[in-house]
Each structure stands twice: as structure tokens, then as C-alpha cells.
Structure 1
């Protein structure tokens, strides 16, 4: 069997009230909460994936502002290793209410509300990315050279 890494994006978006945009979704038959996130498609620029996934899962158009980090996570449910390119982004406007299959609803939640979700978070990276964002972790967008653009 050939090992195939899974490259994903995730997006941390904070509103003017200090709330964060999360997605309530169905994953493996279980309701969980996650940042807007998903796989980078073949021939897709990473920043385009950030915008697309956020729009598809929340209906919000966003502008990426900086890279928070690249996170590695091996999911215990399926043994797959994910490489998560997590970005901070600014919400521009809600463009649609049409959401991807499996998405229940987008939510704006405070950090305290997110922590209370506990095991309803899709992975520990959800909280870690928010904490890194709140601690000021940031890298310029051009730290990743994307040959697609």
C-alpha cells in the first residue's frame, strides 16, 4: 500500500465581537464542530482552497490575512495523517445560505463556548488553532510558494 498524505486547509475567522466561525457538521455519523476546512483539490492554489472551503461550508466569503501554521494530525478514527494548513482570515460578507452536504450550520461562538464543546470538536486542532491565533502566532501569506498562482 502506498502512503498518500492528505493536505487540508482550515480557516480561523474572528468577528468584531470576539466570536469565531465554526461549522457544525456530520462526520462518520457523529455531529462535530470544526473550523471551515477541507481537502485541497488537485491543481488548486492553497489560498483558493481556503476561500472555497469557507464559502462552501459557511456561506461566508473571506480574505486570508496570514498563515497560522502547518499542523499534523493522525486521526484515530481512520489512521489517516492530515497536514492542515491553517490560515487566519477576515470575513467579508455572507454570500449564500447554500452549504455543502453534511454541513448542519455555521455558528459564531466565543472561545468559552468552543472550549465547552469538548469532545464534540472534530479534532484537538480546532482549539489549538484558535489558541495559536489568540496568542499572536502568524506567518506571512507568501511563506508558502504556490506554483498554481
Structure 2
């Protein structure tokens, strides 16, 4: 993912440049200093404290070619998304192996007799738990 060094991305000594974000349903058109960068951006956040200059953090797509466009802009910081590894490790460290096995074995909707069914069932349960779905699915009719 394209990224710039912080000293190049946060330009506190230069004047901010024009930023325009126009919502269009579930998408938005983003212009920075007159350049449409909508297709280059996968996420952004904008913060503005009273009396301060707005700050925008822009996350570029992996295939972005607009790296040079982000020179200045309301003190722009271009960064990469955080590594999910530490969060996943913290989540897994509090999982009880016995409880995971018990829940997976009672989930008849996930046990289909194919190879590795218990492992697939455990992964499905972990996925549900990671999404906050802590309840056990009710067995489907006759299962």
C-alpha cells in the first residue's frame, strides 16, 4: 500500500490546500487541491478541533498512482491500515479450547461429514464469535 514518511505527509509549516468531499449515496467524490482522487482512496477520516486546522488521514488503495497528489492538504497523513495480527492474537488468547470444541460439536448445521469438519466448524464458530455473535445457533429441524 502506498505510504509516505510522516515528515512528508504532515506539513505543519505549509498552508492547507482545498479539500472537497461530496457524498453520493454509499460513495463519495473526493477532491484534493482540485484533483479527483476518489478512485485512489479506500478510506479517510477527517477531524477538526475548534480553532484548529482540519486534519485528514487518507488511506490509498493498493493500486494507487496518486501518491504525489497528496502534497499538503489540511495537514494530510497518509497511512496504512493497522496489522490485524495483534488483535486476532488477543481474541484467540481468551478462547477456551474446551468451550470452542463443545460449541462446534453441538453445531449440527456445521457438521457435514466432509474431511476436516470439526476444524471447519471451529473456524466458523470463531468467525461468529469475532463478529460478536456469542449465541449458539439453534439446531435446524431434525438435526
Structure with greater helix percent: 2
Larger Rg computed on CA atoms: 2
TM-score (norm 2): 0.29
**Structure showing greater relative contact order (alpha-carbon pairs closer than 8 Å, 6 or more residues apart):** 1
Query: In proportion to residue count, which structure has more strand?
Result: 1
